Structure 1
Amino acid sequence: MTPWLAFQLADSALPTGGFAHSGGLEAAVQLGRCRGAAGLERFVEEALWQAGSLAVPFVLAAARAPERLADLDARCDAATPGHVANRASRAQGRALLRAARAFGPAAGALEDEVRRAGLAGHLAPISGALLAALGAAADHAARLHLFVVARGVVSAGVRLGLVGPLEAQAALLRAGAVAEAVLAATAGRAPEDAAATSPLLDLLQSHQDRLYSRLFQS
């Protein structure tokens, strides 16, 4: 994969629908569980550890063996019982496939496969299989997934008024060290061992549909 394509995949302009989701941050703010810049950074760290334990094993497995996509997608669906998080994962996975059609026939063929097989299309296994089809290494796919998680939460924090744009960029930079620690701690974890590590985050995400007013879908 060329560096230019890698930049495009990480660019916020890629229309994957990720900015319609806060990863539970909106509920955390409304319920008083997250306040200010410090609260946002703690939330980002928790979201990264959750993603590293639950999603990254599927990203890595699909990147290393994209022919296992159907099985990995089904396992990811079973490992994500919360209805809001499950719905968001499927929506973002399918949106990523639609956006990636611009990158050539390999990405288009993957979307066709998902549609024909009737897969749920969860973001983590789709990300891994797509990055593999585009020529990326598995570790790059995992890092990109964690970057997108952190970027989405930080962006939501700006729109929710927790931080300003400059503070947000500093927080996103510091999140890089957390992401590397997450990758090191979860290295070698198989999809069969994937599990959520933050019950509170699961509860906050599941509360999203109960909010009286909301900016985000999750």
Structure 2
Amino acid sequence: MKFARLLHLVDSSIPTGSFAYSYGLESSITFGLIKDRLGLRHYLYSYLQQVVGMEIPFLTSCYTLELPDLNPTLRIMAEEYDAMMLVPTIRKASVVQGKNWLKLLASLYPASGMQEIRRWFEEQELPTHFVLVFALCLKRVEFTLADLQTMYLHMALRDQVSAAIRLGFIGPMEGHKLQHDFYSIFENLLQNQTAREYTQATRSAFMLDTAQVLQEDIYSKLFQN
């Protein structure tokens, strides 16, 4: 039953806003950084590597905080994550999704203290980045760290494949087969990474950051960044 609830929370229809963004995929295709199907596979692997190297350590560190204290470590963590968001539009997207996530979880779990998390970020005048509140909220409703790490990686892959389909770069059948194929490397990607803390977080795919910046130069856009 608990795992079914987690599947619901990461369903694509959940209104956090993730499907409004391409996170650089649209500009990568538009400006020729991704030219063919093989290029898309390479792009997705690099994208997931960066998620594992950057977001997963922050997710892990947030989860292992002793709640409900919301201790000073969280402030340092939130400031460092914000500083590592190199692209302004990606930073904005992360904050918007974080606010939507907090609102959603507060409505689904009214007795779990989600409003305390929201108030803490407001009082500290810190941005509610999605990866941070994703971990803090789901820790409160007792999902496991391993499930959170896997589901976060799943959402990252799903959103990129969906964007590629909606851009017409690949068809729905091909896209879902590609997504299915990539699940086979999740264990490899997460191996030796699941215990890393936020102080070990790294950005590893700077071409992706460049592509995200180029999103603003597209004349006609299907997505936000």
Query: What is the TM-score normalised by the length of structure 1?
Result: 0.92
Aligned match of 2:129: 122
Aligned match of 2:26: 26
Deviation (angstroms), 1:4: 2.4
Structure 1 residues 95 and 6, CA gap change in structure 2 (3 angstroms): same
Structure 1 residues 185 and 200, CA gap change in structure 2 (3 angstroms): farther
Deviation (angstroms), 1:15: 0.6
Deviation (angstroms), 1:115: 3.1
Aligned match of 1:111: 118
Separation in 2 of the partners of 1:94 and 1:38? 36
Aligned match of 2:80: 75
Structure 1 residues 108 and 165, CA gap change in structure 2 (3 angstroms): farther
| Correspondence for 1:214 among 199, 202, 221 | 221
Aligned length: 218
Is the deviation greater in 160-169 or in 38-47? 38-47
Separation in 2 of the partners of 1:157 and 1:177? 20
Q: 8 Å contact 1:48–1:146 — kept in the other structure? A: yes
Deviation (angstroms), 1:101: 2.2
**Larger helix fraction of residues:** 1
Q: Does 1:196 align with 2:206?
A: no
Is the deviation greater in 156-165 or in 102-111? 102-111
Q: 8 Å contact 1:100–1:108 — kept in the other structure? A: no
Structure 2 gap ranges (5+): none
Separation in 1 of the partners of 2:181 and 2:125? 39
Answer with 1 or 2: which has the greater Rg.
Answer: 2
Structure 1 gap ranges (5+): none
Is the deviation greater in 28-37 or in 62-71? 62-71
Deviation (angstroms), 1:62: 0.7
Query: What is the TM-score normalised by the length of structure 2?
Result: 0.89
Deviation (angstroms), 1:34: 1.1
Structure 1 counterpart of 2:124, which letter? A
Partner secondary structure for residue 119 of structure 2: helix
**Cα distance per residue 1:163-218 (max 9 Å; x no partner):** 11111111111221232222114233221121110110111111111221111111
Partner secondary structure for residue 55 of structure 1: helix
Moved over 4 A (4+): none
Structure 1 residues 212 and 146, CA gap change in structure 2 (3 angstroms): same
Aligned match of 1:87: 92
Partner secondary structure for residue 127 of structure 1: helix
Is the deviation greater in 78-87 or in 205-214? 78-87
Deviation (angstroms), 1:130: 1.3
Aligned match of 2:16: 16
Separation in 2 of the partners of 1:38 and 1:95? 35
Q: Does 1:97 align with 2:106?
A: no
Aligned match of 1:163: 170
Aligned match of 2:180: 173
Deviation (angstroms), 1:89: 1.8
Separation in 2 of the partners of 1:16 and 1:200? 26
Deviation (angstroms), 1:86: 1.7
Deviation (angstroms), 1:33: 1.1
